[in-house]
């Protein structure tokens, strides 16, 4: 009888955590056949089936679920043991989602620092609105996500990073009052992310606070293109003020002072509770360091006054 190996336990843990053999292979930088062979070997050693197929993925059998906490304890113990001889090696693939506005401000700097600190860590990035990224995380197609005002979920850990200042932004060519109200903007062309997004809700709630319905709201699924349309003077919109810094300095756009103010939006890192790996911790720490250097996020939302 052969012994159960750490390699088999790793393959089992990540397949169970990520819901697919492909996901485990990416996490461990191995081929799918290698993961499958390790899982079959582990099933032979335990004498019970550990997975059942569900759609395109897999999920643990009752015996698999029973084994999962023990597998996690073993891997955590190995991690602690490795840590006694030096830092845990951060390596392999990590699938990370970013809310687009947040990514436009800080992702390039985060990647630059990540390459310096963790050259063996290979991120695969998905950038979209929070409403598009968060379901991918919940389906375990992402390991980690940086989201604007994410939903609470008992299976996931939320790490607060701070609040992002957002405001109404318009071309500097537009003649608008020093203090802008919903009535001032109601008949102007507005551009927003799709219904269901944080951005769309901000727009609708801001107008609704004064009992006003905007005459025209164009929809765009890209925050970058939304900002481009605003900069071109075609419409006005809400997006992170940090994104507009260079255009403000160049006199191209103006951050509108509004009544009511647009509330700042909280930014969180979010990941599955059972997958807080060294890779995830390293990525979050890197982003935190970049944010600190940029003086980007505040501790709490205050709005634009």
pLDDT tens digit sequence for 243-292:
999 999 999 999 999 999 999 999 999 998 876 688 999 999 999 999 98
Nearest to 139 by CA among 20, 303, 299, 286: 20
- Residue 215 forms part of a structural domain: yes
pLDDT tens digit sequence for 25-53:
877 778 899 999 999 999 999 999 999 99
Q: Rounded to 10 degrees, what is the CA torsion of 128, 132, 137, 141?
A: -80
Last residue within a domain, chosen from 29, 52, 84: 84
- Higher pLDDT residue, 299 or 304? 299
Domains held by the chain: number: 3
Domain enclosing residue 14, as ranges: 6-84
Do 173 and 157 reside in the same domain of the chain? no
pLDDT band at 80, cuts 50/70/90? Answer: low
- Residue 1 forms part of a structural domain: no
Is the pTM here over 0.75, yes or no?
no
Strands (E), the chain: 51-54, 57-60, 92-99, 121-128, 144-148, 156-164, 166-171, 190-192, 217-219, 237-240, 253-255, 265-272
pLDDT tens digit sequence for 199-243:
999 999 999 999 999 999 999 999 999 999 999 999 999 999 999
Last residue within a domain, chosen from 62, 84, 106: 84
Interatomic CA distance for residues 128 and 101, integer angstroms:
8
Average pLDDT along the chain: 90
Interatomic CA distance for residues 199 and 75, integer angstroms:
41
Do 109 and 53 reside in the same domain of the chain? no
Do 112 and 154 reside in the same domain of the chain? yes
- Residue 260 forms part of a structural domain: no
pLDDT tens digit sequence for 161-181:
999 999 999 999 999 999 999
| Span 63-81, average pLDDT | 83
CATH of the domain at 245: 3.40.190.10
Do 290 and 151 reside in the same domain of the chain? yes
Do 107 and 35 reside in the same domain of the chain? no
Do 217 and 185 reside in the same domain of the chain? yes
Do 109 and 235 reside in the same domain of the chain? no
């Amino acid at each position: 009888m052969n012994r159960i190996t750490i390699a088999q336990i790793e393959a089992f843990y990540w397949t169970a955590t990520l819901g697919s053999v492909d996901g485990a292979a990416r996490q461990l930088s191995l081929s799918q056949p290698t993961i499958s062979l390790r899982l079959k070997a582990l099933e032979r050693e335990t004498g019970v089936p550990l997975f059942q197929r569900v759609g395109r993925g897999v999920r643990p059998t009752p015996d698999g679920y029973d084994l999962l906490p023990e597998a996690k304890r073993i891997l955590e113990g190995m991690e602690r043991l490795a840590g006694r001889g030096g830092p845990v090696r951060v390596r392999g693939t990590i699938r990370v989602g970013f809310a687009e506005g947040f990514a436009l401000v800080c992702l390039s700097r985060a990647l630059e620092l990540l390459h310096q600190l963790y050259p063996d860590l290979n991120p695969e990035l998905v950038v979209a609105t929070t409403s598009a990224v968060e379901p991918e995380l919940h389906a375990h197609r992402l390991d980690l996500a940086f989201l604007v005002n994410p939903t609470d979920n008992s299976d996931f850990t939320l790490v607060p990073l701070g609040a992002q200042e957002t405001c109404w932004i318009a071309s500097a060519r537009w003649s608008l009052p020093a203090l802008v109200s919903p009535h001032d903007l109601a008949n102007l062309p507005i551009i927003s992310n799709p219904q269901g997004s944080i951005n769309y809700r901000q727009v609708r709630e801001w107008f609704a606070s004064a009992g006003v319905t905007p005459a025209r709201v164009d929809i765009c699924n890209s925050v970058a293109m939304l900002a481009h349309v605003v900069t071109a003077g075609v419409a006005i919109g809400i997006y992170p003020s940090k994104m507009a810094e260079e255009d403000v300095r160049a006199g191209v756009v103006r951050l509108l002072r509004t009544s009511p103010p647009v509330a700042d939006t909280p930014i969180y890192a979010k990941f599955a509770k059972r997958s807080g790996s060294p890779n995830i911790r390293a990525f979050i720490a890197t982003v935190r360091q970049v944010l600190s250097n940029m003086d980007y996020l505040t501790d709490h939302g205050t709005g634009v006054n």
